[in-house]
Each structure stands twice: as C-alpha cells, then as structure tokens.
Amino acid sequence: MDEMRIWTCENGHVLGLVSRNGRGITRLMIYRQAVDHQADEPVAPEVMGIVEGTVLDIRCSVCGCVRTWFPSQEALDKLLARVGKQKGEIAVEKIT
C-alpha cells in the first residue's frame, strides 16, 4: 500500500505530495501552485508533474522560498535492507 505525506516549504505551504510505493520507490507529485492551508480560501491543488529523481530549486508560489527535492535516504536504506533480506532467505532455502 502506498504511503502519502505532504511536502512543504519552510513556511508550511504545501508544494506537493510524496508517495512511496511497495517497492520503496519515493516519488514527488509537484503542485502547479503551492497550497496555503492558512489562507481563507486555499486554492485547489493541481498536480503539475511526478518526479522520481532530484529536482533543484522548486519555488513556492505563495512565499517565494526555494527548496530542493531529493528522494529520501530512508527509502534507499529500506530498499537495500530488503534486498539483503531476500538474499538471506535464498541462502536458507539452499541449505534446507
């Protein structure tokens, strides 16, 4: 099952959604316009694109601050741990 969490700028405006699928791949859905949940009438989010790699300088359309997106190290660690575990299971099968 996919995990979803919001990705915000330094001031809490939502720049997009981060999802991680069952294979540990982390992706960012970038909103065309940042969403300010403190506003009286927040704009409806519109997804501009989906990225899996690093994206430099994503600018918040509300406050103008800039962030760089990179897939989390945590996701990579989990992926590597899973690969290691699978190798271990294969070895056990061969012995028994």
Q: Which residues bind Zn ion (CB under 5 A)?
A: 9, 11, 13, 60, 62-63
Shortest gap between Cβ of 34 and Zn ion (angstroms)? 5
Q: Which candidate, 81, 34, 77, 72, places its Cα nearest to that of 52?
A: 72
Q: Tokens 């949940």 belong to which residue?
A: 37
Shortest gap between Cβ of 18 and Zn ion (angstroms)? 16
- Torsion angles phi and psi, residue 22, rounded to 5: -65, -15
On whether the CB atoms of residues 16 and 28 are closer than 8 A, the answer is yes
Residues near 68 by beta carbon (within 8 Å), at least 6 away in sequence? 54, 55, 56, 57, 58
Nearer Cβ to Zn ion, position 65 or 75? 65
Nearer Cβ to Zn ion, position 11 or 38? 11
Nearer Cβ to Zn ion, position 63 or 76? 63
Shortest gap between Cβ of 80 and Zn ion (angstroms)? 33
Nearer Cβ to Zn ion, position 20 or 58? 58
Shortest gap between Cβ of 9 and Zn ion (angstroms)? 4
